Amino acid sequence: MECKKPPRITFTNLSGVPGLFHGVFTRRGGVSAPPYESLNVGWNGDAPEAVRENLERVKAAAGVERLVASKQVHGDVLGFIDEESMRSLEERSPTLLAPPADALATNLSGLGLLIKIADCQSILLADPESRIIANIHSGWRGSVLNIAGKTVKRLERFGLDPSRTLAAVSPSLGPCCAEFINFEREIPEEFWPFRVGPHHFDFWAITRSQLLGAGLLEEHIECAARCTVCEKSEYFSYRGEHETGRMASVIGWKRP
Ligand SMILES: [Zn+2]
């Protein structure tokens, strides 16, 4: 039986790193029924056997032995997956489940770090020399917590060099649709310069500024600049549809 690889978004900077797989899968190429059609990787509401099959397809396309996911809670915790923490991961076939965290990082081969998104950003990081990679889940709450900048700083302890680190920002809530009517209460004042309309904010620019603040170089940061709310046939959007699926974003070292 022929199994077509589901389509995904890739980035020029990360594509140039030998041995690295990365991709933000769209909503197409899976088996889930509406309103989760079709490549949904979120367990909530959808038929578990469909989610399992979708995850198998993502794993096969990534060419990794295991996918590692975590319960995402809109916080700023980093889960670093090394040989030791690997042993304590929970089996949730076909993924391994790490303790709650919105950033996952590793330097191990054969593992795909999985972040699930529908409007939130997945921020992929790779330092080709230390081989530290990360996948960050950052919605607007993550932006307020500066999970992107904090993760870079925390990974320096493991040998990551921000000036070498490549970053990519997934399709996500764009400035066209990031409307915050109550922004004066919800959005900290330091973000107000990123306002692009009376109530609209550019969270892509906020992430870029947070990564620059953590020491990344401008030329190492790439943004898909695709809005998930605007392109409902390609992407799942929580703002756009409410009852909907989650897309898979994955980064991992293939086994040599
Ligand atoms: Zn939009």
- Distance in Å, CA 123 to ligand 1 centroid: 18
pLDDT, mean of residues 128-149: 98
**Would the pLDDT of 74 be above 80?**
yes
- Distance in Å, CA 69 to ligand 1 centroid: 27
- Distance in Å, CA 175 to ligand 1 centroid: 7
pLDDT, mean of residues 58-65: 96
- Count CB-CB contacts under 10 A for residue 125: 28
pLDDT for res 242: 87
- Distance in Å, CA 51 to ligand 1 centroid: 27
- Distance in Å, CA 229 to ligand 1 centroid: 5
Chain Cα centroid distance, residue 233: 19
Note the pLDDT tens digit of each residue in 147-158. Answer: 999 999 999 999
pLDDT for res 218: 98
Percent of the chain with pLDDT strictly greater than 90: 95
31 and 38 Cβ atoms separated by less than 8 Å: yes
pLDDT for res 18: 97
Q: How confident is the model at residue 2 (pLDDT cuts 50, 70, 90)?
A: very low
Q: How confident is the model at residue 3 (pLDDT cuts 50, 70, 90)?
A: low
- Distance in Å, CA 155 to ligand 1 centroid: 32
- Distance in Å, CA 179 to ligand 1 centroid: 10
- Distance in Å, CA 250 to ligand 1 centroid: 23
How far apart are alpha carbons 97 and 87 in whole angstroms?
11
Element containing residue 154 per DSSP (H, E): helix 147-156
3-state secondary structure of 4: coil
Superfamily the domain 8-253 falls into: CNF1/YfiH-like putative cysteine hydrolases (3.60.140.10)
Note the pLDDT tens digit of each residue in 7-49. Answer: 999 999 999 999 999 999 999 999 999 999 999 999 999 999 9
- Distance in Å, CA 177 to ligand 1 centroid: 4
- Distance in Å, CA 178 to ligand 1 centroid: 7
Note the pLDDT tens digit of each residue in 171-189. Answer: 999 999 999 999 999 999 9
- Distance in Å, CA 119 to ligand 1 centroid: 10
- Distance in Å, CA 26 to ligand 1 centroid: 16
- Distance in Å, CA 171 to ligand 1 centroid: 10
- Distance in Å, CA 41 to ligand 1 centroid: 23
What is the overall mean pLDDT for the chain? 96
How far apart are alpha carbons 245 and 230 in whole angstroms?
16
The percent of the chain in helix, strand and coil, each rounded to the nearest 5, is 25, 25, 45
How far apart are alpha carbons 66 and 255 in whole angstroms?
11
- Distance in Å, CA 228 to ligand 1 centroid: 7
- Distance in Å, CA 93 to ligand 1 centroid: 34
